[in-house]
Amino acid sequence: MEKKNYFNNLISNEEHFYDIPDCISECSDYKELIENSFGLTEGLLKLQSFKCTDTETKYVFELTVNEKSENFEVNKVSDYVDTNGLISGLNSILNSSNVQTQNRFIDLVGGPVDFGIAFVSPEKEMNLAKSGMIWRNDQFYIDYENSNKPGSIKSDDIGKSTKSKNKPWWKIW
């Protein structure tokens, strides 16, 4: 049976998943989210080992991805997924893996599904947002428009990887 595409075919079923619970009760729940997310990359990211430490306030991940050690953490947010922490961690791994893609991980919230993750280009994310399929704040639109103006990327910035919590994900690379 073919899976319904709730996103008006703005993104394909191969670019996202949503049919998993958004409640988290243990490390294995995050492992499933990470495995499903990496599956969207069509082999660009390969999870080789997974270790998770469950503390009182967060989950700490020690992963081996593409034969490289990667670490990130997410906060415990009641029993829900720390969407910002997870997406930030996934994109940090993507950036440090030096894979050649314009796609990034994004959350699919505020639209037709409760929770999901996609691996898409900035243009597809903007199309989803403008169509009301996902929620983004006003700053998202401003940053997107500013990032597409001539001269917004300096020649010195090309090829540099920066990590800033204040920058949108498409400006991190």
- Is the per-residue pLDDT at 168 higher than 60? no
Rounded to whole angstroms, how far apart are CA atoms 59 and 151?
Answer: 40
What pLDDT was estimated at residue 22?
64
Task: Output the DSSP codes for 69-136.
Answer: EEEEEEE-BTTB--HHHHHHHHHHHHHHTT---S-EEEE--SSSSSS-EEEE-HHHHHHHHHTTSS--
CA distances from 153 to 77, 99, 149, 150, 156 (A): 35, 20, 9, 8, 8
Which range is most confident: 88-92, 130-134, 140-144?
A: 88-92
- Is the per-residue pLDDT at 170 higher than 50? no
What pLDDT was estimated at residue 27?
92
Mean pLDDT of 87-110: 94
Mean pLDDT, the chain, rounded, equals 84
Q: What is the pLDDT of residues 116-135, one digit of tens each?
A: 999 999 999 999 999 889 88
- Is the per-residue pLDDT at 152 higher than 50? no
The residue behind tokens 């949108």 is 168
What pLDDT was estimated at residue 150?
58
Tokens of 57: 């306030």
What pLDDT was estimated at residue 2?
60
Residue 119 near residue 15, CB atoms below 8 Å: yes
Name the percent of the chain lying above pLDDT 70. 83
Kind of pairing, strands 47-54 and 104-107? unpaired
Residue 16 near residue 40, CB atoms below 8 Å: yes
